[in-house]
Chains A and B, each alone.
Chain A
Amino acid sequence: MADGLAIRGLRLEVARTGDDIVDEVDLTVAPGEVLGLVGESGSGKTTVGLAVLGHARRGVRIAGGSISIGSTDVLGLGAEERRSIRGRLVSYVPQDPSSSLNPALRIGLQLREVLEAHDFGGSDEARRARVAEMMAEVLLPGDDEFLARYPHQLSGGQQQRVALAMAFACRPSVIVLDEPTTGLDVSTQEHVLATVRSLARAHSVAALYITHDLAVVAARPDRLAVMYAGRVVEQGTMREIFTGAAHPYTRHLVAAAPDIAGGRQIVGLPGRAPQPGARPTGCSFALRCELAEDRCRGAFPEPVAISGSHAARCVRVREVPSSTLAQPARAAARGRGDVVLEVAGLDAGYQGRTVVHGVDLVLRRGECLALVGESGSGKTTVSRSIGGLLREWTGTVTFRGEALGRTSRDRSVAQRLGIQYVFQNPYGSLNPRRTVRDSIARPLQIAGASEDEADASVLDVLSKVALPASYANKFPDQLSGGERQRVAVARALVSKPDVLICDEITSALDVLVQAAIVDLLADLRRDLGLAMLFVTHNLPLVRSIADEVAVMSAGRIVEAGPAMEVIDRPREDYTRRLIAATPSIERALA
């Protein structure tokens, strides 16, 4: 009997209330195959992954269904038996190795103990040899010095490879990988993905690859399963899903995923998936679906087979692939606007260390300049200097013809209001003790506006970011991540700035919401003639949002120019390597 993974009718509940977190999940992964499990945050994919190991987090109860690995019925095992299959028959690669590796233990010990716990190899020498073998498989040094290190002495990529080695150590039949490349640089992501692929193939391991990022998934898995609000809504091969998605949600997901090779505009979908306990009877996507009809709200649609490998849970599967999604209005090509912000010879740093060298940038009205780079490239340092949030910088920044002071306190009120900054973390950029209205109105109050004027401006700007007026009285903890970012953008807009600096503002948001925010920014640029500096590490996003792009590495601008040109015809080696390493759906399908 093949030792693949078979999940049937899995149901997981909130222990206290019985609300479903995940339900009716059917998945199969054959040995040597990689199944990509795609879903946004809250879809339940991590919970499914942990259940494969017979594990449920506090407050979660495994309520029904079966999970088989070969002939082993995981959910029917007792506690001690479950412990014995973990790491041996099925293993787990965590999302964040920096917190999943024990900071107090050397990595050699953490690697060895998996083997010891399952008595792999039978002797100490055999185990030592196996550790050396494992390290070689993941392309890490296997010498004693390296094995004596503590996790914090390794880079993020190295930590994740150690986690991979631990997972493959006892030659399991099934591996669950939970977003294993989040937070890693693009090139490191490539390596990790390639390693997973080759190891899975070589040892006939069934791999369940959990992710939210479609592009990452595009390059590797054989098949995909898409989850929404706790259910698998569509399954199929990569090609079937990308070219002929049969569920409206999947269509939106594919349409919202930025692609570096793609020539299309991304389309977003505001709103969010219903949380456990708040899920309607009937299809949980019906609230946001433009194809929804009465049939959809009665009971959750059963899976409809479209081909041998392709099935989707929608009553209108036949019509979905050919239906058109509402396309955002795109501006016709404009003439070049005036220069509104100019940066010359910017050097910046922290506590005496210079991390940014000689940066030159030009921002024009109505234009979006993307500042791209991996973590540590200095892009946030540049944007903070321009925004007046950093003290240690030299060079000139000219705004509307005037040279700017270093920090916002050295600048005039008009200058401060003219350049607005939107932060990355939607959960930290709004004061939790202030209502939306108070947070947005603050810049106006400082500039001396009356309460009535402030109220009017708040309502005006809320409508610009497509939030209902009633939101003015809400507190941040009542809003979703996407909604909070809209409020942050509204706060920036209220002072009618000329320049908007967006610092990775979509990095913490799900794909659909990200695309919706990108739509919003494009509209604002067009309607208000804003100049935008968009800082991001997400290269594919650049294509969808930017007119111009500047690529940074190690504190310097490596290449700059019109976005399409730089991406399609990069001139510098660094840019070329960066683009080549970025996973692309369209490239994979070509």
Chain B
Amino acid sequence: MSGSGTAIERRPGIIRLAMRLRRTQIGVGLAGFLVLVALLGPFVAPYGSTEFVEMPNTRNAPGTVFGTDYFGQDVLSRFLFGGRSILLLAASATAIGLVLGASLGLLAAYNRGRLDEWIMRVLDVILSFPQVLLSLLVISMFGPSRVLIALTVGFSTTPRIARVIRGAAVPVVERDFVAAAEAIGEPRRRILFSEVLPNVTSSLLVEANLRLTYSVGLIAALAFLGFTPSPNAANWGLMIQENRNALTVQPWGVLLPTLALALLTIGTGLIGDGLSRVSAGIDRSGDRG
């Protein structure tokens, strides 16, 4: 392979490789569609999200596609309004968890010894709580504001991401090119972010995706249990809880949000699987003997 010429035959990045797999494409399609619905839904909804339309729990109410919900509001409209909050909160929570978790994980992996132990111990305490429980505790005491939900879910995500990143970074830190960078006196921060971090991006992407999927479910579950930023605003998780009792007569109030959540999480799950398949290949081929 010792060719001449300066053409760079660079291997495509992990995202591009993953997009070649059919499952990733399907995942992107599903998740993308639902994200569009969630973000653009409010602009195309036929009625307002709290507008009274017809008799409650009427499946075939005139003027509606899916009928009315427990309060007489249009199911379709509430559905179209109901995804945005969940999505934005899940995305922010994941972002918070990523930034904090990746930094802590990298720090712990690079420093080994004292700092590593302390970071991991503190994170272990947070890890001792199921995420649902921690979020419930905090939110029930301080109120379900947007910021608090994002922060709490983000903080409870942090240790999980930190653990994974640390696990991926430790073998990288032990490789000689990091020692070589130290030997020439590279500043520590540069070593972390420009030597180590680029080599754990595949783990980062896979884990970020996993956490996003879980956060969507968690935030919807919190809404289901009654904890949303605004009690009347439409929210998929809340809708499931609100319309549960009328399932036998008016299934759409539960069916639509359930399907949306299911397809969204399946979509992101497929993307994550595509990413992890491709990253396993990348990591293995990097060490070809």
Contact = CB atoms under 8 A, between A and B. Distances in A.
Query: Do A's and B's CB atoms come within 8 Å in the complex?
Result: yes
Contacts of A322: none
A468 interface: yes
Interface string A422-452: 0111011111110000010011001000000
Nearest to A442: B184
Interface string B199-231: 100000000000000000000000000000000
Interface in B170-191: 175-177, 179-186
A413 B184 CA distance: 8
Say whether chain B's binding surface is mostly helix, strand, loop, or mixed.
loop
B180 A429 contact: yes
A310 interface: no
A473 interface: yes
Contact of B180 (A413, A423, A446): A423
Contact of A478 (B5, B9, B186, B289): B9
Contacts of A429: 175-177, 180
Interface stretch (B69-77, B237-245, B280-288): B280-288
B185 A416 contact: yes
A388 B180 CA distance: 10
B184 A477 contact: no
A446 B285 contact: no
Given A428-B176, A468-B4, A417 B287 contact: no
Contact of A416 (B4, B175, B183): B183
Contacts of B184: 408, 416-417, 442-443, 446, 495
Nearest to A481: B289
A249 to B, nearest CB: 18
B186 A477 contact: no
Contacts of A470: 3-6
Given A423-B176, A425-B176, A477 B285 contact: yes
Contacts of A417: 184
A548 to B, nearest CB: 24
Given A428-B175, A477-B11, A446 B1 contact: no
Contacts of B181: 442
A475 interface: yes
B2 A271 contact: yes
A215 to B, nearest CB: 22
B8 interface: yes
B114 interface: no
A431 B2 CA distance: 19
A423 B186 CA distance: 17
Contacts of A194: none
A143 B176 CA distance: 43
B130 interface: no
A212 interface: no
Among B2, B3, B11, B287, the one with the most A-chain Cβ atoms within 10 Å of its Cβ is B2
B183 A388 contact: yes
Interface in B270-288: 285-288
Contacts of B179: 389, 421, 423
Given A425-B176, A470-B5, A431 B183 contact: no
Interface in A345-375: none
A38 B4 CA distance: 31
Given A408-B185, A429-B176, A491-B180, A477 B199 contact: no
The interface size bin for chain B is 20 to 34
A158 interface: no
B9 A431 contact: no
Contacts of B287: 427
B22 to A, nearest CB: 20
Nearest to A424: B176
A58 interface: no
A336 to B, nearest CB: 28
Given A408-B182, A468-B4, A477 B288 contact: yes
B205 to A, nearest CB: 14
Contact of B195 (A408, A428, A431, A495): A431
B12 interface: no
A425 B180 CA distance: 12
A387 interface: yes
B186 A431 contact: no
B179 to A, nearest CB: 6
A430 B195 CA distance: 10
Given A473-B6, A480-B1, A430 B185 contact: no
Given A271-B2, A477-B285, A428 B183 contact: no
Given A442-B184, A442-B186, A433 B198 contact: yes
Interface string A395-429: 00000000000011101010011001101110111
Interface of A: 41, 271, 387-389, 407-409, 411, 413, 416-417, 420-421, 423-425, 427-433, 439, 442-443, 446, 468, 470, 473-475, 477-480, 483, 488, 491, 495
12 contacts: A408-B182, A416-B183, A424-B176, A429-B180, A433-B198, A443-B184, A446-B185, A446-B186, A470-B4, A470-B5, A478-B9, A488-B180
The 9 closest A-B pairs by CB, nearest first: A423-B176, A429-B176, A428-B175, A433-B198, A428-B176, A443-B184, A431-B177, A416-B185, A432-B286
Interface of B: 1-6, 8-11, 175-177, 179-186, 195, 198-199, 285-289
Given A411-B185, A416-B185, A433-B198, 15 more contacts: A271-B2, A420-B183, A421-B183, A424-B176, A427-B287, A427-B289, A430-B177, A431-B198, A446-B186, A468-B2, A473-B6, A475-B10, A475-B11, A479-B1, A488-B180
